Amino acid sequence: MAGLTLRDVRKTYGGAEVIRGVDLEIAEGEFTVFVGPSGCGKSTLLRMIAGLEEISDGEIEIGGEVVNDVEARDRGVAMVFQSYALYPHMTVAENMGFGLRLAKVPKPERAKAVEEAARILQMEHLLDRRPAQLSGGQRQRVAIGRAITRQPEVFLFDEPLSNLDAALRMDMRMELAALHRDLKATMIYVTHDQVEAMTLADRIVVLDKGVVQQVGSPLDLYDRPVNVFVAGFIGSPRMNLIEVRVDRADAAGAVVSGADLAERAIPGLRVEAGETLTLGIRPHALRAVPDGPLRGTVDLIERLGHETVAGLRLPGGAQVTAALGGRTPLKIGEPATLDFDDEELHVFGPDGEAIRFRD
């Protein structure tokens, strides 16, 4: 097992820069998730680590060794593909043992390694089948087994659960978490699904347009997003963003208001009067009250039993989502009023960067 270091890693495709200088330390045994919208460069970054894409500039180190010019096969990494990429003409056992076969590991040892991986993934009964005879979930298991048998320094996962249905995805997610606990291996996992990222990661790397937006533990990102992008991307339902203007500001704090928000004092916030800010409030931080700063008309109600997700259209045109108690009496078309605590408030400056005003 090994850690990784990325130093100012860049990737250009014919003039277009898709990875724009990524610096990253990944500790040995850490489960790191690259997350971001499609086209953010997360898969490209993973493939650069794997050795499947050339590095245009910068350095990638695996286990202390710069691997820029090392072939994929010699980097000691194993990858699980979204498409599984199993060899259709080989049995499950042959698929899993292929890497060892190439490494000229003697047959008995190979068989042992395959059996061990199959035991970990509980698929001993599948070893003689061919990929075509397996379900999607089983194929993904084989793909993971193939990675395990190789005992790589680093495991790479490229959206491995995207092709599975929702229920299976949840099962596999738990299994992957367990696998990481058992193997204690360095794993890098790419996904566009922030729930996967939140549940699996020791550390999440949020990417957008080829730039790392924020690196941190799941709760770190949830509680202290550094900019509007991360705030909007992490958390489900998405954080509500409301534009306001600073009416008054002094040493004690500021008072803001806007088309969508009645006047509200924010103690401790240091800004200039007249500035435009974006307030971020998570749907779960909102509560229905008889009188509050957010008034609007209910235009969406999703009753999930344990909670009710309500959509409010505010007078300024903004749409706000609130996750309320399961039995909150709201009706579509009727007015509603919402409130939130100051501690739950996120403030972003005109440049989209977070403004810290609490300790």
Partner 1 sequence: MKRWIATTPWASRGLILILMALTLLPFLSMLSAALAPSGTYPSGLEWPEAPAWGNFARAWEVANMGALLWSSTLIVLGTVPAAVLFATMAGFGLARLTAGRGRWFYLVFVLGLTLPFEAVITPLYYEILALGLLNTRLAIILPLIGLFMPFSVYWMRAHFLNVPADLSEAAQLDGARRWQEFLLVQVPLARPAIMSLSILLFLWTWNQFLLPVVLVQDPDRRTMAGALGAFQGQWGTDIPLLCAGSLIILAPTVILFLIFQRQFVAALLQVAVKG
Nearer of residues 85 and 170 to partner 1, judged by Cβ? 85
Alpha helix ranges (H) inside the chain: 42-50, 92-102, 107-120, 136-149, 166-183, 194-200, 218-223, 228-233
Say how far apart CA 328 and CA 308 lie, in whole Å.
7
Kindly tell me which of 6 and 80 has the beta carbon lying closer to partner 1.
80
- Nearest distance from C-beta of residue 305 to partner 1, angstroms: 40
Nearer to partner 1, 159 or 208 (CB): 159
Please give the structure tokens belonging to residue 137.
């979930």
Q: Smallest gap, in angstroms, from Cβ of residue 41 to partner 1?
A: 18
143: three-class secondary structure by DSSP: helix
User: Which residues of this protein are in contact with partner 1, per CB under 8 A?
Assistant: 50-52, 71-74, 77-79, 81, 83, 85-89, 98-99, 102-103, 146, 150
Cβ burial 296-323 (10 Å sphere, 16+ → b, else e): bebeeeeeeeebbbbbbebeeebebbbb
In angstroms, rounded to a whole number, what is the distance separating the alpha carbons of residues 50 and 215? 21
Residue closer to partner 1, measured from CB, 82 or 257? 82
Are 78 and 117 a contacting pair, CB within 8 Å?
Answer: no
Kindly state the smallest distance separating residue 197's Cβ from partner 1, in Å: 23
Q: Least distance to partner 1 from the beta carbon of 156, Å?
A: 8
CB-wise, 32 or 43, nearer to partner 1?
43
Q: How far is the CB of 141 from partner 1 (least distance, A)?
A: 15
Tell me which residue of 312, 307, 276, 308 sits closest to 293, measured CA to CA.
312
